[in-house]
Amino acid sequence: MRKGLERTHLLNVDLDIVSRTPLESLVAAFGRKVDVLDVGKWGRRYGARLEVGGSGEGNEGAEADRLIRRFVALVEALPKGTRRLWDGAQLREFSVGIEAAAKSPLWEWKIQPRTLEGVARVGARVSVTVYAPERILLSRVAKRKTTR
């Protein structure tokens, strides 16, 4: 059994941005400090989904609080023109992903006041998504069926 299925744990923190204007220049301003999961046209809007560089799933040392503060620092370091693109976006959201385990004891995530202050300073919000263990197990079964 994969280690992640034995206990509830943090997957990662994504930064989701939705705007009426293209976001490629905003994403480019973050440089190599972010990994770009998606950027481009999302229906009638433009969107980007990013994660802090090198912080993807499996990074057990990554804490959501620290990752959000890293994103806040990147936003606060944006040049003025690019920061206007950030400020003009309709959605600026730090999305915390948690993978639940069926037999895991209680798991808490505490967000520090300085992190909340940073989120407020950059005009963003925080969301939390908990992925059920059944989703993970079902996706494994589906993969096994397609690889046979």
pLDDT at 131: 85
Q: Is the pLDDT of residue 28 over 50?
A: yes
- Domain layout of the chain by residue ranges: 3-147
CA atoms within 13 A on the CB side of 107: 13
**Helix, strand or coil, per DSSP, at residue 106:** coil
φ, ψ of residue 145 to 5 degrees: the values are: -65, -35
Nearest CA among 138, 51, 139 for reference residue 97: 51
Q: Is 127 exposed, middle or buried (0-12, 13-18, 19+ CB in 10 A)?
A: exposed
pLDDT digits (tens, 9 = 90+) for 104-123: 777 788 889 999 999 999 99
How large is the average pLDDT for residues 14-43? 95
